[in-house]
């Protein structure tokens, strides 16, 4: 019996490229990933030909949607500058696909964005309606980026800003768990997705689209395609700030973000240990290399306060990130203690700023949020005044 992937390939073979070739013979397809009825891949074309390929992209999506067993399709049309290496490797080929560069304006040029190099002199195109995009990042894994990202986002919301959260961790998305989101995003007009609304914030994560147990065998280009789609093909609406929860490290996702959208800045999360600080330094260096300003460093898991006796102990040391920030000449944004409460609330999908807004931890995150807001120079919206006419 043919697998869904075989049926998808057969459907794509019936779609013609602008030169009249079968799509599967056009050398433009990345690996095709089929998991649980969801199909993901990218079409990489010469930047000068993006316009001709737009119709093909749509026909490919329609052809796949008609395949029995397919529930959803995510296809990214990405552009590569002329003079790039040969074919992308056919869909069935074992050769590693080349790394595509994104067309400005995302997977599909929108709003009249002309095809061309990924980053012109003016930098990458923004997301219409989104005033500022910030990344929450670290070099090292497990230091609390996602926890800080979600509570920082809630702190910004409490300051009166309209906030969105993009979970850019394609391999290990956190937002479904941190915000207890189990529903699937709805589509608008067949191709665009509506973010999930939680605590007054718009949230998008690959985890809303694929099951938690699904093995994530993504390659670099697939990570880029998925990120591009989540940035460009989601109805984010009007946002003052989009907080992006980054995966650990300095790899494809970080570069994609820096190339794809104008990042207003990066918040670096570190624990106080030397090893984490070395990785934080790497993260800072990477953002500086791609001209993304570092908003500052947050020291997470700073001091441990015993919930029973109130005694403070510095399990990982304390103050290391503040000293590192001074040394590197970047702002220090605040210290978040290692607190059972923060972990339990995170694990339960009820972040501390949303569920204990009057507690000490919420205040710490709100103070960090205020420093971030000040660095972005976005205005907090005053609560609307109700005028009663006499
Ligand atoms: N301040 C804190 N106090 C107690 N536990 C915390 C704190 N910050 C994070 N944690 C816990 O540490 C674990 C890792 O946190 P989190 O998932 O936010 O890290 P991460 O840096 O996003 O990880 P990854 O690199 O895997 O994306 C989680 O169980 C979280 O609840
Ligand atoms: Mg994380």
Give the model confidence (pLDDT) of 90-149 as tens digits. Answer: 333 333 333 333 333 333 333 333 333 334 445 678 899 999 999 999 888 888 999 999
241-260 mean pLDDT: 83
Evaluate: CB of 348 within 6 angstroms of ligand 1.
Answer: no
pTM to 2 decimals? 0.71
**pLDDT recorded at residue 75:** 73
Q: What does the pLDDT look like over 210-221, one tens digit per residue?
A: 766 655 555 566
Residues 118, 105 contacting (CB under 8 angstroms):
no
How far is it between the farthest Cα atoms of the chain? 76
**pLDDT recorded at residue 217:** 57
Q: What is the mean pLDDT of the chain?
A: 79
Angstrom distance (rounded) from CA 8 to CA 344:
43
Q: Which atom of ligand 1 is nearest to the CA of 340?
A: 4
Residue 281 pLDDT greater than 80, yes or no: yes
Residue whose C-alpha is closest to residue 260's, from 78, 85, 129: 78
* Residue whose CA is at the smallest distance from ligand 1 atom 30: 343
> How far is residue 138 from each of residues 25, 172, 304, measured CA to CA in Å?
41, 15, 21
Evaluate: CB of 27 within 6 angstroms of ligand 1.
Answer: no
Evaluate: CB of 150 within 6 angstroms of ligand 1.
Answer: no
Task: Give the Å distance between the CA of 273 and the centre of ligand 1.
Answer: 15
Task: Give the Å distance between the CA of 147 and the centre of ligand 1.
Answer: 6
Evaluate: CB of 145 within 6 angstroms of ligand 1.
Answer: yes
Q: Which atom of ligand 1 is nearest to the CA of 245?
A: 22
* Residue whose CA is at the smallest distance from ligand 1 atom 15: 144
Mutual angle of helices 252-260 and 220-232, in 10-degree steps: 40
Q: In this predicted model, which residue has the larger pLDDT, 300 or 308?
A: 300
Mutual angle of helices 274-289 and 252-260, in 10-degree steps: 40
Residue 373 pLDDT greater than 70, yes or no: yes
Evaluate: CB of 301 within 6 angstroms of ligand 1.
Answer: yes
Evaluate: CB of 263 within 6 angstroms of ligand 1.
Answer: no
- Sign of the torsion formed by the C-alpha atoms of 173, 178, 180 and 185: negative
Task: Give the Å distance between the CA of 55 and the centre of ligand 2.
Answer: 37
* Residue whose CA is at the smallest distance from ligand 1 atom 29: 343
Angstrom distance (rounded) from CA 83 to CA 29:
18
Q: Using DSSP, state whether 13 is helix, strand or coil.
A: helix
* Residue whose CA is at the smallest distance from ligand 1 atom 11: 343
Evaluate: CB of 153 within 6 angstroms of ligand 1.
Answer: no
Residue 165 pLDDT greater than 90, yes or no: yes
> Hey, what are 273's tokens?
């240990």
Q: What percent of the chain has pLDDT over 90?
A: 39
**pLDDT recorded at residue 117:** 33
Task: Give the Å distance between the CA of 384 and the centre of ligand 1.
Answer: 36
Evaluate: CB of 300 within 6 angstroms of ligand 1.
Answer: yes
Residue whose C-alpha is closest to residue 34's, from 250, 242, 218: 218
Angstrom distance (rounded) from CA 376 to CA 390:
40
Confidence bin at 37 (pLDDT 50/70/90) = confident
Q: Which atom of ligand 1 is nearest to the CA of 143?
A: 21
Evaluate: CB of 147 within 6 angstroms of ligand 1.
Answer: yes
Q: In this predicted model, which residue has the larger pLDDT, 362 or 315?
A: 362
Q: What does the pLDDT look like over 321-370, one tens digit per residue?
A: 888 898 889 999 999 998 888 999 999 999 999 999 999 999 999 999 99
Evaluate: CB of 335 within 6 angstroms of ligand 1.
Answer: no
Angstrom distance (rounded) from CA 335 to CA 211:
34
* Residue whose CA is at the smallest distance from ligand 1 atom 5: 343
Residue 390 pLDDT greater than 90, yes or no: no
Confidence bin at 84 (pLDDT 50/70/90) = very low
Task: Give the Å distance between the CA of 94 and the centre of ligand 2.
Answer: 31
**pLDDT recorded at residue 224:** 76
Residue 174 pLDDT greater than 80, yes or no: yes
Residue 282 pLDDT greater than 70, yes or no: yes
Residue 306 pLDDT greater than 50, yes or no: yes
> Hey, what are 41's tokens?
């891949």
């Amino acid at each position: 019996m043919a697998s869904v992937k075989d049926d998808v390939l057969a459907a794509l073979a019936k779609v013609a490229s602008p030169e009249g070739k079968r799509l599967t013979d056009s050398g433009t397809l990345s690996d095709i990933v089929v998991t649980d009825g969801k199909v993901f891949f990218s079409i990489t074309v010469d930047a000068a030909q993006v316009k001709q390929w737009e119709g093909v992209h749509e026909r490919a999506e329609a052809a796949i949607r008609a395949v029995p067993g397919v529930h959803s399709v995510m296809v990214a049309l990405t552009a590569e500058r002329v003079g790039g290496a040969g074919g992308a490797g056919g869909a069935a080929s074992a050769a590693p696909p080349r790394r595509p560069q994104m067309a400005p304006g995302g997977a599909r040029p929108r709003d009249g964005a002309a095809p061309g190099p990924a980053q012109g002199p003016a930098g990458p195109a923004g997301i219409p309606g989104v005033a500022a995009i910030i990344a929450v990042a670290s070099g090292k894994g497990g230091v609390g980026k996602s926890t800080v990202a979600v509570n920082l986002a809630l702190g910004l919301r409490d300051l009166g800003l309209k906030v969105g959260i993009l979970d850019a961790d394609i391999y290990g998305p956190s937002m479904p768990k941190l915000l207890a989101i189990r529903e699937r995003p709805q589509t608008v007009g067949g191709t665009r997705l509506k973010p999930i609304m939680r605590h007054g914030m718009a949230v998008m994560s690959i985890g809303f689209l694929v099951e938690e147990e699904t093995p994530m065998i993504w390659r670099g280009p697939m990570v880029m395609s998925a990120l591009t789609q989540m940035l460009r093909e989601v109805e984010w609406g009007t946002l003052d700030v989009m907080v992006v929860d980054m995966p650990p490290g300095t790899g494809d996702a970080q570069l994609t973000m820096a190339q794809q959208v104008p990042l207003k800045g990066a918040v670096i999360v570190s624990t106080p240990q030397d090893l984490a600080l070395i990785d934080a330094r790497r993260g800072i260096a990477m953002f500086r290399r791609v001209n993304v300003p570092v908003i500052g460093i947050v020291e997470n898991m700073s001091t441990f306060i015993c919930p029973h006796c109130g005694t403070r102990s510095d399990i990982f040391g304390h103050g290391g990130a503040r000293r590192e920030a001074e040394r590197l000449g970047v702002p220090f944004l605040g210290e978040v203690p290692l607190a059972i409460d923060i972990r339990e609330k995170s694990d339960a999908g009820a972040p501390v700023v949303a569920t204990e807004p009057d507690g000490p931890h919420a205040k710490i995150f709100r103070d960090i949020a205020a420093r971030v807001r000040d660095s972005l120079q976005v205005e907090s919206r005053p609560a609307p005044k109700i005028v009663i006419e006499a």
